[in-house]
Chain A
Amino acid sequence: MDEEQPVDLSALDPTVPRGAFEARLARVRHAARHALRERREGGNPLEVVARWRAPLLAALVLVVLASAVLVRSAQIEAALETEPADEIADLLGVPALEGDALLSTTTSTSDLLLGGSPQ
């Protein structure tokens, strides 16, 4: 059957003649030069940011977590430092300031005035 045979469409072939095809390729090359250069140079700043977005976010989360841990441990340390004086003051039934004085290794002004010996 005639319809089983291909139609000769070679006159529409864009790769022939060779000179015309080379000119078409040169146009494509010319139009693509910016995209190729950007790829060679690693992309524009927005693309670079987009590429590093995930690692940057991960690093940010780590910094926030590490900061939270440091702040919390500093708070605990501060609380531990104040606890003994408060406990002694509680046990003796005196104000917290006097508990501090009891733990202090230096002689207080009132001791000196009352003629107490240095501890």
Chain B
Amino acid sequence: MSRPAPIPPDADLVALALRGDGGAFDQLVRRHYRAAFSVALGVLANRHDAEDVCQDAFVKALERLEDCREPARFVQWLLVIARNRALSYHSYRRIRETAELLPEIAEAPDSPADDLARAQLGDRLEAALATLSATQRTVVLMHDLEGWTHKEIADVLDMTEVRSRQHLFVARKLLRAVLGEYRNG
């Protein structure tokens, strides 16, 4: 019976990516894409814009990898980049235009029916999230989508754990109210 390959820590992947190892960079992107997306969506309240910023944040992180003083805390460093890129997003709209010129990497649908249902639900959630403040949105996405603890969220968003809990409480309450309106309406 073969053992599963050990999962390399971020610090090792960062060291390899510093030397231009595409596989290591790929693993970092796979591992932290959802976290970066959650932060970007929290700021922008738009999935497509969040994806653009997410892509941009990973490329910028790779370009400035020498600045990552603590490679073991790569994700915290990446999320700061993602947040800053999201805050100054409007100058980066061109990224999507470039991506659309790449037909060879267009999305491959898994199941059209599932995709449609998922897209509709995603639209409703996105609209509901848009009624929250950026901080409430970021906290609820990082906690309920990405599964981060309040300690980790507080660390990245530079707030106390208590404040993070308060934001989550209010965000969930508001989201359920808005989503309930959708269901009832």
On A, residues with C-beta under 8 Å from B are 2-3, 5-32, 35-41
| Chain A positions within 8 Å of B72 at CB level | none
Count, chain B residues at interface, CB 8 A? 53
Contact B30 A25 (CB under 8 A): yes
B19 to chain A, nearest CB (A): 6
Contact A15 B140 (CB under 8 A): no
Contact A12 B106 (CB under 8 A): no
On B, residues with C-beta under 8 Å from A are 17-22, 25-26, 29-30, 33-34, 37, 41, 47, 51, 54-56, 58-59, 62-63, 95, 98-99, 102, 105-111, 114-115, 118, 121-122, 125-126, 129, 140-141, 143-145, 169, 172-173, 175-176, 179
- In whole angstroms, how far apart are the Cα atoms of A40 and B22 in the complex? 9
Inter-chain contact total with CB atoms closer than 8 Å: 123
Main SS class of interface, B: helix
- In whole angstroms, how far apart are the Cα atoms of A5 and B176 in the complex? 11
Q: Which 6 interchain pairs have the tightest Cβ spacing?
A: A39-B20, A40-B20, A26-B105, A19-B108, A11-B121, A17-B110
List, sorted by A's number, 17 A–B pairs whose CB atoms are closer than 8 Å.
A3-B173, A6-B172, A7-B176, A8-B144, A9-B125, A9-B144, A17-B109, A17-B118, A19-B109, A24-B54, A25-B26, A27-B99, A28-B58, A31-B99, A39-B17, A39-B18, A39-B62
Contact B55 A27 (CB under 8 A): yes
Contact B59 A6 (CB under 8 A): no
